[in-house]
Amino acid sequence: MSEGYDPGCAVLSVHNLTKSFQGVDGPVPVLRGVSLNLGPGETLALTGESGSGKSTLLHLIGGLEQADSGTIDIDGTRLTGLSDRGRATLRRGTVGVIFQQFNLIPSLTVAENIAFQARLAGRYDRGVTADLADKLGLTAQLRKYPEQLSGGQQQRVAIARTLAARPRLVLADEPTGNLDEDTALRVLETLCDLAKETRSGLLMVTHSVQLASKLDRRLHLRSGVIT
């Protein structure tokens, strides 16, 4: 176990995770024994060149794909032993994902999109939602529909939607990739503040050294291992 954490206390504990994809000449290893831990309220930046496996790692932790071997524990539950249904439940209630595709629901307003996941998780709170919309600069957009928003506004709605459900673990894949520098920094601050406030963990992929430096810890993925 890396860094000497007690995995029982960790929000996220990944041990010796491996994943290969089928290539033309057989399996191509993408992750070759990745281990990491994240404590309550801790924020971690994951960097690595394009194709190094960052999104793959987030997909495995988010329960969207299955690892070949190794273990993932989220808030004391072993994800790697769960059925599809169990993984879906954990995803709904415990893990919040912010991926590069926003997947907003086009027929719902911004306000409804933000509330949707929180309602599914049974944690909708009007005050929390309004506060998030304010912090993410979305208050004026609440009655609009996703198609009426810019790419950066849609990205912030996707972030608000995830945070409104107050997950124990937030997985974010370049969550500020569509934002200008100042807005990106503000959004990152909101993500970090919320992690501290709610003692949740944040694992964020970023290509930006500047953004990575704002987080508590940084890990680099190279040739399928953490360096």
Binding partner of residue 50 among Mg ion, ligand ATP, none, CB under 5 to 8 Å per kind?
ligand ATP
CB 108 within 8 A of CB 158: no
Binding partner of residue 21 among Mg ion, ligand ATP, none, CB under 5 to 8 Å per kind?
ligand ATP
Q: Closer to ligand ATP at the Cβ: 28 or 140?
A: 28
Q: Binding segment for Mg ion among 15-23, 50-58, 60-68, 188-196 (CB under 5 A)? A: 50-58
Tell me the residue ranges of DSSP E strands in the chain: 12-23, 26-38, 43-47, 69-74, 77-78, 95-98, 169-173, 201-205, 217-222, 225-226
**Position among 4, 26, 51, 122 found at the interface with ligand ATP (CB under 6 A):** 51
Least distance to Mg ion, CB of residue 221, Å: 10
Residues linked to residue 45 through DSSP beta bridges, in sequence order: 204, 218
Q: Which residues contact 218 (CB under 8 A, 6 or more apart)?
A: 44, 45, 46, 47, 212
Q: Closer to ligand ATP at the Cβ: 47 or 162?
A: 47
Least distance to Mg ion, CB of residue 53, Å: 8
Q: Binding segment for Mg ion among 7-15, 33-41, 55-63, 132-140 (CB under 5 A)? A: 55-63
* Alpha-carbon distances, residue 165 vs 5, 85, 92, 173, 177 (angstroms): 27, 19, 9, 18, 22
**Chain residues that interact with Mg ion, rule: CB under 5 A:** 55
